[in-house]
């Protein structure tokens, strides 16, 4: 939509007697758009938009994204989307001043941009209010990335729709031109036939006049022929240009569709490769270096699924990192393991000390020992002997763990069985069942207790479900666009 602009400066006058001069008034524009005139106030595209840009930039930078500067791979889609919207707002302001945009179209675009900025502001306000735990931070980051993706998708759909409308308009013009050319071709043929008839009829009367008339008609027919050829060439050029634009759009859509299909395949492999993680089985996806490298590469590609791949990579790394720390404990894990084995050794020592009377061979000394322990010592010996048997079984199951040859058996049924044991009043009663609690502390330090593994697994599954749903919906839209664009290409 094009228009013309006329600037109407407002004359400023100051009252006599030294009165203060009024503040400068904004400059008015007289625009003519599609034949209609309207008055509008020229906007300051630098000052008016700078506050909003600074405010949004400050909010986003407080969240962790440096607008206009470098950004981590995870935050880059947010940075790109915000810069795109800010530039779109500046361009819209310039088009308003140049009388390119009619008022209804300007209002519609302005309302859409305002809604985008308002949504982002609400999310960032929630994110920047005090300290956030890891889960809340992750959830808010997901909301920001989803906002970024929707903004980019809406912008792409708007560009595609604009291109489609332009192409259809060009096609309508080309069809109208073709009809006009056909009518001209018919007229030229009639003129040529009339010229021949007139020339033949005049031969019997005045030969010179007939020849002159024939020359005039032939010249007119030749001029019409040249005009027709020029119009045909112009129509062919317009059709070719429309086909070029459509072909470029088709190639872009086909590339996006291919990226989305490949990403759906990645999602399927990750889903199948993460089964059993919540029950302590190491996910196959964690050991698939090719799959994890592919997720990383998609995140760096900048294509339509890059932000989703970045989010997925974070979830996979979190889950796989737990199993890696389980097999190769870090300092915290090694310290917790050391505490467990020291506690186990202490329990064995206490129960053996309590049973030492049974190992004394001298009868008198043995009685004195038993007297020192008081009544029920025989029951304690039986309980401690049974407790030591359970500890010996546990030692066999823990073989190689202390020497780091195998991981700690966090999901063994042994811990449930030990927690349920009951003994008479003895060291065994006081300490053997606590080994299950110590095991929970070890697994928690390693990050593979049921609570942490369950949380990481649920988070990964939610990301897989969300990414698959969004990708499939966008793929359907892209495939529909491809069908429409391919049908518009002229042979």
Window from 6-20, 147-161, 464-478 with minimum mean pLDDT? 6-20
Q: What is the DSSP letter of 93?
A: H
How many other C-beta atoms can be found within 10 angstroms of the C-beta atom of residue 10?
A: 9
Strand partners, 4: 32
Closest-CA residue to 12 (of 33, 27, 29, 32) = 27
Confidence tier at 465 by pLDDT (50, 70, 90): very high
Q: What percent of the chain has pLDDT over 90?
A: 28
Can you tell me the mean pLDDT for 250-263? 90
> Which range has the top average pLDDT, 135-139, 296-300, 374-378?
296-300
CA distances from 305 to 26, 73, 149 (A): 45, 13, 9
User: Which segments of 98-133 does DSSP mark as H helices, in order?
Assistant: 103-127
Question: Residue 248's pLDDT is what?
Answer: 85
Mean pLDDT of 133-158: 68
Q: Which residue has the higher pLDDT, 44 or 460?
A: 460
Rounded Cα distance, 296 and 314, in Å: 10
Q: For residue 159, what pLDDT is reported?
A: 62
**What is residue 17's predicted lDDT score, i.e. its pLDDT?**
42
Across residues 321-326, what is the average pLDDT? 93
- To the nearest whole number, what is the mean pLDDT of the chain? 77
Instruction: Tell whether the model's pLDDT for residue 32 goes beyond 80.
Output: yes
DSSP-derived 3-state class of residue 96 = helix
Predicted local distance difference test score (pLDDT) of residue 364: 82
Per-residue confidence (pLDDT) for residue 223, from 0 to 100 = 67
Residue 191 confidence (pLDDT): 60
Q: Is the pLDDT of residue 454 over 70?
A: yes
For helices 76-97 and 103-127, give the axis angle rounded to 10 degrees: 150
Q: Compute the distance between CA of residue 401 and CA of residue 345 in angstroms, rounded to an integer.
A: 14
Q: Does residue 429 carry a pLDDT above 70?
A: yes
Q: What is the 3-state secondary structure (H, E, C) of 317-365?
A: HHHHHHHHHHHCCCHHHHHHHHHHHHHHHHHHHHHHHHCHHHHCCCHHH
Query: Of the segments 39-48, 354-363, 417-426, which one has the largest average pLDDT value?
Result: 417-426
* pLDDT greater at residue 2 or residue 152: 152
**Residue 15 banded pLDDT, cuts 50, 70, 90:** very low
Three-class HEC string of 235-298? HHHHHHHHHHHHHHHHHHHHHHHHHHHHHHHHHHHHHHHCCCHHHCCCCHHHHCHHHHHHHHHH
Is the model's pLDDT at 12 over the cut of 60?
A: no
DSSP 303: S
Fill in the DSSP letter of residue 208: H
Band (pLDDT 50/70/90 cuts) for residue 488 is confident
pLDDT of residue 385: 84
Measured between alpha carbons, how far is 35 from 377 in angstroms, rounded to an integer?
110
Mean of pLDDT values over 408-421: 92
Judged against a pLDDT cut of 50, whether residue 51 lies above it is answered with: yes
Confidence of residue 64 (pLDDT cuts 50, 70, 90): low
Confidence of residue 9 (pLDDT cuts 50, 70, 90): very low
CA-CA-CA-CA torsion sign (265, 270, 276, 279): negative
d(CA 462, CA 439): 29
How do the domains of the chain map onto residue ranges? 3-13+23-130, 160-326+450-488, 330-403+411-446
Average pLDDT over residues 443-470: 92
Give the whole-angstrom CA distance, residue 430 versus residue 351. Answer: 10
**Taking each helix axis from N to C terminus, what angle separates 76-97 and 134-202, rounded to the nearest 10 degrees?**
40
Looking at residue 175, what is its pLDDT?
Answer: 64
Q: Measured between alpha carbons, how far is 15 from 216 in angstroms, rounded to an integer?
A: 75
When pLDDT is cut at 50, 70 and 90, the band that residue 431 belongs to is confident
pLDDT tens profile 177-220: 666 666 666 666 666 565 555 555 545 554 565 566 667 666 76
pLDDT tens digits for 65-76?
544 444 555 566
**Mean pLDDT computed over 372-378:** 59
Q: Which two tokens stand for residue 30?
A: 């007289």
pLDDT-based confidence at 35, cuts 50/70/90?
Answer: confident
> What single DSSP character describes residue 131?
-
């Amino acid at each position: 939509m094009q228009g013309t602009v006329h600037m109407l400066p407002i004359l400023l006058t100051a009252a006599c007697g030294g009165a203060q001069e009024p503040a400068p008034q904004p400059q008015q524009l007289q625009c003519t758009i599609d034949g209609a005139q309207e008055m509008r106030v020229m906007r300051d595209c630098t000052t008016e938009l700078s506050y909003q840009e600074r405010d949004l930039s400050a909010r986003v930078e407080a969240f962790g994204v440096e607008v206009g500067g470098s950004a981590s791979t995870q935050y880059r889609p947010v940075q790109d989307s915000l810069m795109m919207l800010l530039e779109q707002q500046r361009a819209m302001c310039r088009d308003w001043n140049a009388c390119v945009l009619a008022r209804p179209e300007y209002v519609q675009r302005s309302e859409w941009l305002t809604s985008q900025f308002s949504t982002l502001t609400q999310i960032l306000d929630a994110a920047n209010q005090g300290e956030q735990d890891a889960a809340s931070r992750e959830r808010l980051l997901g909301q920001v990335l989803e906002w970024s993706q929707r903004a980019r998708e809406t912008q792409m759909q708007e560009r595609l729709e604009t291109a489609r409308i332009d192409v259809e308009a060009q096609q309508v013009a080309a069809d109208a031109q073709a009809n006009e050319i056909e009518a001209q071709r018919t007229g030229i043929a009639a003129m040529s036939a009339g010229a021949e008839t007139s020339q033949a009829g005049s031969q019997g009367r005045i030969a010179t006049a007939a020849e002159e008339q024939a020359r005039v008609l032939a010249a007119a027919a030749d001029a019409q022929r040249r005009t027709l050829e020029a119009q045909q060439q112009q129509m062919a050029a317009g059709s070719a240009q429309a086909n070029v634009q459509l072909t470029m759009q088709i190639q872009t859509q086909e590339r996006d569709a291919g990226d989305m299909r490949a990403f759906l395949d990645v999602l399927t492999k990750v889903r199948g490769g993460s089964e059993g993680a919540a029950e302590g089985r190491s996910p196959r996806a964690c050991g698939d270096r090719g799959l994890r490298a592919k997720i990383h590469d998609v995140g760096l590609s900048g294509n339509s699924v890059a932000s989703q791949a970045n989010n997925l990579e974070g979830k996979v790394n979190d889950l796989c990192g737990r199993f890696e720390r389980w097999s190769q404990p870090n300092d915290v894990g090694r310290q917790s393991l050391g505490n467990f084995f020291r506690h186990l050794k202490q329990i064995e020592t206490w129960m053996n000390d309590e049973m030492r009377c049974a190992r004394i061979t001298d009868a008198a000394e043995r009685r004195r020992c038993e007297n020192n322990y008081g009544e029920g010592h025989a029951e304690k010996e039986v309980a401690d002997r049974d407790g030591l048997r359970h500890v010996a079984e546990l030692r066999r199951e823990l073989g190689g763990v202390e020497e780091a040859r195998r991981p700690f058996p966090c999901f063994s049924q042994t811990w449930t069985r030990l927690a349920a044991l009951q003994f008479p009043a003895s060291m065994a009663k006081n300490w053997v069942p606590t080994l299950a609690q110590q095991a929970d502390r070890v697994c928690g330090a390693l990050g593979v207790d049921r609570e942490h593994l369950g949380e990481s697994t649920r988070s990964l599954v939610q990301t897989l479900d969300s990414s698959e749903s969004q990708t499939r919906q966008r793929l359907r839209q892209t495939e529909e666009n491809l069908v429409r664009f391919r049908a518009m290409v002229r042979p």
